[in-house]
């Protein structure tokens, strides 16, 4: 994959850069040389009053509904705290508005590639401290922020050693289980609602049990009575067509990068290619989710996200 451009000239604003569109993590680990390349773009936003020079930066990743208003409220908090923000436009770059009903046109593997290319690029900016770049994401983007802490992915996508210094996933899909248990030592804070029926909290809790013994520095803050998108201002609603996860099925990634899942007792299917994911959707048609804000959780999360990066990215 082509290296991203240097930002040594101090460029800010909308910036295009090369990326790729691997369908699954399997392709990142095993077939990256053959995946289609794709030009993407993001926006590098600078604070009015930087906390330091060079300053920390947060790479921000949207969810399945693309960029939403509450995402930008967090971003304003980070900018006002003196951090730069690089806002990744994975959907807009691929002319996609939403993946709520398909989860195929833009995948977390594609978005992981986009964010690591962004990390490599913003690390070259003279006003950004390359050792203090964090990542935050919501829902699908939260999945990206979470699994960007898995070292084999980082090795594949940033072979020169660039790494995120802090990971903030908000209500991620925590359904991947790795045989290769090598994780970043950087802090991970997951913010999740206990009534989330889109990406259940139980998957996060079992992931923590799985990876913490292997050195992952992960914590979870649980909001009681909160659904998906608890940090938004939208009223609680139900989407009958949205694809959801259940609370017990996970996807295994073996030491060779092969992906599989036990979709029924004793029935294990591969999940490396698009047609295999379609077969899994057909076999386990989980549809229908709730989403909407909860005022108490929202207020806490907006402050907590800024405090997390102040604690972990400040000098």
Euclidean distance between CA atoms 152 and 200, whole angstroms? 25
The DSSP 8-state label assigned to residue 267 in this structure reads E
pLDDT in tens, 214-227: 999 999 999 999 99
pLDDT in tens, 64-105: 999 999 999 999 999 999 999 999 999 999 999 999 888 889
Euclidean distance between CA atoms 104 and 216, whole angstroms? 29
pLDDT in tens, 158-181: 999 999 999 999 999 999 999 999
Euclidean distance between CA atoms 35 and 38, whole angstroms? 9
> Average model confidence (pLDDT) for the chain?
96
Q: Which of 31, 90, 48 is nearest to 65 (CA)?
A: 90
Residue 202 and residue 247 in contact, taking contact as beta carbons nearer than 8 Å = yes
Euclidean distance between CA atoms 305 and 58, whole angstroms? 11
Mean pLDDT, residues 263-289 taken together:
87
């Amino acid at each position: 994959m082509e290296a991203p451009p240097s930002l040594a000239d101090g460029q800010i604003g909308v910036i295009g850069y090369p990326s790729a569109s691997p369908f699954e993590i399997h392709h990142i680990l095993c077939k990256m040389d053959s995946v289609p390349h794709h030009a993407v773009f993001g926006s590098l936003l600078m604070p009015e009053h930087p906390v330091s020079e060079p300053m920390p930066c947060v790479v921000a990743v949207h969810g399945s509904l693309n960029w939403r208003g509450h995402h930008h409220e967090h971003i304003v908090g980070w900018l006002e705290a003196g951090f730069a923000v690089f806002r990744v436009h994975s959907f807009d770059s691929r002319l996609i508005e939403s993946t709520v009903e398909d989860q195929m046109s833009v995948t977390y593997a594609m978005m992981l590639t986009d964010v690591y290319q962004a990390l490599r690029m913003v690390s070259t900016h003279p006003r950004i401290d390359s050792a203090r770049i964090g990542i935050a994401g919501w829902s699908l983007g939260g999945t990206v922020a979470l699994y960007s802490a898995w070292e084999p992915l980082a090795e594949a996508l940033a072979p020169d050693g660039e790494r995120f210094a802090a990971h903030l996933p908000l209500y991620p899909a925590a359904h991947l289980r790795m045989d290769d248990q090598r994780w970043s030592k950087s802090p991970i804070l997951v913010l999740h609602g206990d009534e989330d029926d889109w990406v259940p909290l139980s998957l996060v809790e079992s992931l923590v049990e799985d990876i913490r013994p292997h050195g992952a520095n992960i914590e979870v803050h649980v909001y009681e009575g909160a659904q998906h998108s608890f940090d938004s201002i939208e009223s609680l609603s139900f989407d009958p067509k949205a694809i959801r996860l259940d609370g017990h099925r996970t996807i295994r990634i073996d030491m060779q990068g092969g992906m599989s899942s036990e979709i029924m007792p004793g029935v294990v299917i591969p999940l490396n290619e698009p047609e295999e994911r379609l077969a899994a959707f057909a076999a386990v048609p989980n549809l229908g989710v709730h989403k909407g804000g909860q005022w108490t959780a929202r207020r806490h999360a907006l402050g907590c996200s800024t405090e997390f990066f102040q604690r972990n990215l400040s000098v």
